[in-house]
Each structure stands twice: as structure tokens, then as C-alpha cells.
Chains A and B, each alone.
Chain A
Amino acid sequence: MISANVSVLDGSLYFTISLLFVLASFVGYFIFLFTGNKTISKVSFGLLIVGFIIQTAAFVIRWIYAYKIGIDTPPLVDLYDSMVFFAYVLIFGFILIRIFYDFDALGFIITLVASLALAFASFSPIAPSTVEPTIPALQSYWLIYHIMTLFVSYGAFGASFGLGILYLIKIKSDDKHKNSAGNGGNNKKHGGFLSLLPPANIIEESIYKVVVFGLVFLTAGIVIGAAWADSAWGGYWSWDPKETWSLITWLTYILFVHARFTKGWGGKKMAWIAVIGFAVVIFCYLGVDLIIPGLHSYATPGSTPIL
């Protein structure tokens, strides 16, 4: 049975409300894809901003609530909190991109991923929203910084995933048009939402920039995690599955950075790495806990730390 994880007290109700706004924004962006109606995209962006503000308030309420019930470190460590934080960072990143670039076409993927994360948090029985006291190992500021930096990077990788998909769609249709237009150039206009996409080169550059932004934070997050492990677990690195998968994620994106220097690795392959890289991120974030259960020594009753 699905039961909603909502409560006014701990702020989780407001996350669920924000889900409605993000979902509405997604519907708007989706319609925008097919109609290209700028008003709709503006309304969608407005809805998203409202959702973002509600989320900000929800975090404040939740953190104050946690503090009141005697928990000194902000609640970020369990699955619910990390999910909503991920959605928050992703939306924040998109708002920034949208302010600086005319990039409405990205909206539908961002809002889709954010809605999925928020819906998962709000309705999944494995992600209860109750604020639980944190067990001793998780009472560490290292841990809080660790999670925050990692989620900034996950948000960036989520965005690069969206960009990668857009790039692949764009390139495919560009190729098609080139072929059908023969040697006479490709002045023929794309139909529908493809015409709204920025040129492939610009998407390519933004994939790089978003990925490397995420990579700096991922590196910092892993190092901070090692510092935490060094003060809590008896060593900076233990080859725990979670740690190991974070290294695999890191190597995937390091590969992305270097693949550019090899001959024949054009934008298309880079876009594929960005898409695959996000699958690795998701596995590291959720898969390790769900598929390799029991090995993850951090999992303890009351809280499922997601690092």
C-alpha cells in the first residue's frame, strides 16, 4: 500500500506540496516542447520557482524541527532527506542555468527528474519522512558537508544527463536533415521542439561545463567523505561498496574529461558518457543500498544513510 510521507510538523507536507508545483511545471514544459509557446514556458518557470521557494521553507521548518527535538546536526542523512535535497539542488541548478542561458528545452527533463525524486520521497515506504535521531556515527559535520557537496554534484550530473539526451536527439535530427537536404546545405528548419533547442555546439559546451562542475564537487565530496571516515571508521578508505562505487563514478567522469583528447571522440560519444555517467551515479546512490544490501556497513536501524 502506498502511504504518503507527510506531516505538517516536520515540514514534509510542504515538500509534497512543492511536488505539485514541480509536476505542474513539468506538464507545462512538456506542452511547451510540442507547441513552442513561450508563455507556457514562462508560466512553467514561475511554477518551478514557487515550488523552489516552498522547498526552501520546508527545509527551514524541518531543520528547526530537528533542532527542537534535540538533534544537533541537520537532518540530511536518510533516504528521504537526501532525495528531497537532490531535487532541490537540481532545481536550483536549472534556475541558475535558465537565468543565464535561454534554455527552456532543458526544463522538461529537469522537472521530470525532480518530480520523480520528490514523488519517490513523498510516497515510497522505504523512505519515511520522520526525523529520526541520528546514531552516533552519523553525528558529524564532516558528514553534513560530505552529503551537501555530493548532492550538488549529483544535481549537476542529473542536468548533464538531460543535456546529453537533448544533444543526442538534436544530433540525430541534424544528421537526418543533412542527409535529406542532400548537398544543398541544411537550411531546412527543424520542426516542433527541436527548433527550440540551442545549436548542438552550445549543448556540447554546456555538457562539458556542467559535468566538470559536478566533478569538482564530486572530488571534494569524496575527499570530505574520506575525512569523515578517518574520524569515524578507523581509516580514510575501507573499500566499502558505497565508497568503491563513488570511485567508479569519479573514474567515469575523469574518463569523460580525457576522452575529449582522443581522436574520434566527438560530442556524440561525450553525450553518451554523460548519460551513462548518470546511470552510474544513480547506482551509486540507490543501487548500492538496494542491490548490495547487508554489505553496506553504515546501514543501521532508524536511518538509512545515503552517501
Chain B
Amino acid sequence: MTMFSKLNKFFSSIKLAIFLFISIAVFSMVGTFINQGDTESQYRTIFGPQAYHVLYWLGFLNIYDSWYFIGLAVLLIINLVTASVNIFPRTLKAVFGPYPSFNEMMDKKGPKAAYEIIESKKNTEEIKKVLNSKFGKPFIELKEELYYSKNSIFRFSPFIAHFSIIIIIIGVFLNFHYGFRSYTNIKVGEKTNISYLTKNQKPIKLPFTIRLDKYETKYYPDGIPKSYISKISIIKNHVSVATKNIEVNHPFTYDGITIYQASYGHYKPTAAKLLIVNLKNRKSKKVVYAEFGKTYNSGIDNIKFKFIPYKHPKKDEIPFFIELSNKQILKFNVLPYKKQSMPLIFAEYHNTVFLYNGVKNYYYSGVEITKNAYVSVIWVGSIILIIALFFSFFFNHVETWVKLSISKDGKKTHMEILAIPKKKFESFYKNFNKKIAEIKKDLT
């Protein structure tokens, strides 16, 4: 054997394919038991420094990007391509011919073949008619030989299935190479063009700036979140070019980059929301986000005030108060409010009322920003794969040869029927025997 044919045999063997299936499965399994993509310090605390080094060296901490995992995928492609190239000529011949003759097949028929001999007194024309009614339209019709082939075109389905796997793997590599996955938090009202890669937390610069205009969580009546909604604007050259609400399951794609709602949260509150109402003129309302200790203008009679916490609040007492610029102190009172569960908390000064309206939360929205380059290649490959799998599995190519010979006295026709299925199904033999019985019935 030459070097080339040895290599060819190795790389096209199904044994290698089975080895690859098992190896990929086993390495994938490892990755599900060892958390992937944690930081070094996390690993050190989980496994200890020594085990960490071993695992790191083995590549088990980022196994799906490891050289050998990628190597297995490349080997799978090579395996697929060589195997396909090797059986392609045979398949072309099976579909388009030249088809082997009855005698050739008789010599090399394997254990899959079904073989029957029938004798009939009818003439050749009639016999052929009956045979055609059972086996379909013959591909080749000679005087003494017939060749039928059913579902031959589906011999291409495994090729297409294999080809689609190559398309998918290429799509995955392209996506890996040209795309990225990153993550960033944006405060409500603020903007950023920096995002952090998911795999190593390195910052990258986006081709545009994202501003978070608004964030909102909607709830079901029983308090389970129903949707997380961020209103974002895309800003390019200081101009807002797009505005869109994003929700989980409803991302927004701009310029090939997709922005997903991933999480949300709020920073520690720093200010109280105070609603200032003029009792004489109810329309005059003002909202002040008051931080502790700073002076604000109430907007009513030019009254200035500070919002101050008690150093040692008593039990059941509101833990903050208002100090006016004339040093007068206003305590907060509590008034149970009938419908709402939250009572009114307010402080009064002449005709000015300070309503405490909770703390100000600085919401931020965690967004995932990804460039899903070439995913469409993966989708196309996947759809081809599913269709090709279906046709590979459920269509069995069956070839049938019939050889006719007339007995010496010229009274009888001798039929030898040989049928070979691609897949050795019991139902094929059952079906074959049924057809033979029918032919016998029709011709004798």
C-alpha cells in the first residue's frame, strides 16, 4: 500500500469518525463538570493552586476554545471530506450508471441480497408487464435483462447531510473569528461606547455609543417579573440615529451588532425623592432629589432647605428631617392612607408641604452586546442538515435485476430475480417475498 492510500484509508474510515464522536462527547462532558470561563482566583480557591495548574495546563478551564477541541473539529471535517470523496464515485455510479449487469451482481452479491427463481409459461411481453407493475419503470430494458432502481436519487442525502455539517462548522469558525460577545452596564440617562468581552473581561470600543433612556420592570400581579424593558438610543457622531425598546427575547440589531437585555439592577440610593406642594396653589408642584446635607430651593416663597438624617433615630420615628435655612426643624408626620399600603409621610411649613416619595434609585441595565457574524451560515447549514437527515433515513435505495431465459424446449420462461437494498431492513424482505408471491400468482 502506498503512503497516500494508507493515509486515505485512515482519514476516511468510519472508525475514526466513531473515535471523533466519542472524543468530542467526552471532552464536552468535562466542560460541564468544570465551570468554564471563571477567573483565575475563583479557580484557585475551588481547586487549590496545584490542581489549578494541572487543569490549566490540560486546557480544561476553557476547553471549548482549547487547541485540541478545535483540532477535533478540524479532524472531523477532514474525516467527512475524505470519506465523502471516497464514496462519491460509487454513489454517482449507483444513481446515474453505468449500472452493473445481473451477472456481475450475482458474482458479488452479499448477505443483503434477496434472490428468487420463477418459471412461467407466459410470453416475455406479458412477463415484463407484470414485473414492471411490481418494480416500477425499468432503468434498463434489454431483451433478456431488466434493471430497476428505486429511490436512487436519495443516495445523495448522506452527502448533503455531511456537507451541511461542514457548512455549520465553517459558520461556527467564522462566527468565532469575526464576531464577539461582550457585556456592559449602563445607568439610566447615561451612555457608553465601551463593552467588556465575555470571555476575558477585556474592554472593547463599539462603533457607536449606546444611551439608556429609560429602564422599567413590569410585573405579574403576584410579583413575578413579566418583562424587563430598556429604552436605548444609538448615537453616532453625536446624533441619535435609532431608538428602540429592548426586552428579553426581543433584542435590537444595529449595524450587525445585536444588543440584548440581559440583566438589571440599581446602585445604592443616594437621594430621597421629595414632592413639594404649595397648599395655596396646588398646581405648583416640584420634585427635588435631595441628597443628605445639601441645600435646595423649594421653589415656594424662596424657602431653602436641607434634608438631614437623625444621627440616632428613635424607634418608630422617621429617621430624617428637614432643616430650613432659618434653622427651623420640620419633623415628618405619618398619615395612614386608605387605599395605598404606603402611608403618606410629610412635613409642613405654612402652606408648603414636603412629601417624602421614596428614595431615588439609579437603575442600570445590563446589556449583552454581540456581533453574531455569519450566524446565517449556521442556520442555512442546519436547515439543510435536518432535511438531508430525513431523506437519508427514510428512503432506502433498492436495486432489482431480472434475468430472463427461455428453456430449451422454448415453452417456459425462466426468471431470476435479484434484489439488493442499501439498508438491510426486515420489511424489505417481507415486501420482496410478497411481490414474488404476487408475481407467481399472476404468471402461473
Query: Are A and B subunits of one complex?
Result: yes
Q: How far is the CB of B394 from chain A (nearest CB, A)?
A: 8
Q: Specify which of B24, B225, B390 is in contact with A135 (CB 8 Å cutoff).
A: B225
Which residues in window 205-228 of B have CB below 8 A to A?
Answer: 220-222, 224-228
Q: How far is the CB of B387 from chain A (nearest CB, A)?
A: 9
**In the complex the two chains form, what is the Cα distance from A240 to B222 in whole Å?**
30
- Encoded as 1 (CB less than 8 Å from any B CB) or 0, chain A from 222 to 244 comes to 01001100111111110101001
**In the complex the two chains form, what is the Cα distance from A135 to B375 in whole Å?**
26
Contact indicator A255/B31 (Cβ below 8 Å): no
B29 within 8 A of A: yes
Q: Which residue of B has the minimal Cβ distance to A202?
A: B426
Contacts of B249 in A (CB 8 A): 136-137, 139-140, 231-232
Which residues in window 238-281 of A have CB below 8 A to B?
Answer: 239, 241, 244-245, 247-248, 251-252, 254-255, 257-259, 261-262
Which residues in window 198-242 of A have CB below 8 A to B?
Answer: 199, 201-202, 204-205, 208-209, 212-213, 215-216, 219-220, 223, 226-227, 230-237, 239, 241
Q: Specify which of B33, B258, B379, B426 is in contact with A204 (CB 8 Å cutoff).
A: B426
Contacts of A261 in B (CB 8 A): 14
Which residues in window 105-150 of A have CB below 8 A to B?
Answer: 132-133, 135-137, 139-140
| Chain A interface main SS type | helix
Contact indicator A234/B18 (Cβ below 8 Å): no
Given contacts A234-B262, A251-B21, contact A239 B426 (CB under 8 A): no
Q: Interface residues of B, CB < 8 Å — how many?
A: 53
Contact indicator A231/B226 (Cβ below 8 Å): no
Q: How far is the CB of B422 from chain A (nearest CB, A)?
A: 11
A292 within 8 A of B: yes
B425 within 8 A of A: yes
B28 within 8 A of A: yes
Q: Specify which of A133, A216, A248, A255 is in contact with B226 (CB 8 Å cutoff).
A: A133
Given contacts A133-B224, A136-B248, A219-B389, contact A235 B32 (CB under 8 A): no
Q: Specify which of A139, A223, A255, A262 is in contact with B386 (CB 8 Å cutoff).
A: A223
Q: How far is the CB of B222 from chain A (nearest CB, A)?
A: 7
B382 within 8 A of A: yes
**In the complex the two chains form, what is the Cα distance from A213 to B394 in whole Å?**
9
B378 within 8 A of A: yes
Contacts of A254 in B (CB 8 A): 21
Contacts of B427 in A (CB 8 A): 202, 205
Given contacts A255-B21, A262-B18, contact A216 B32 (CB under 8 A): no
Contact indicator A205/B426 (Cβ below 8 Å): yes
Which residues in window 12-38 of B have CB below 8 A to A?
Answer: 14-15, 17-18, 21-22, 24-25, 28-29, 31-33, 35-36
Listed from nearest, the 7 A-B pairs whose CB atoms lie closest are A234-B368, A212-B393, A136-B248, A201-B426, A241-B32, A223-B382, A133-B220
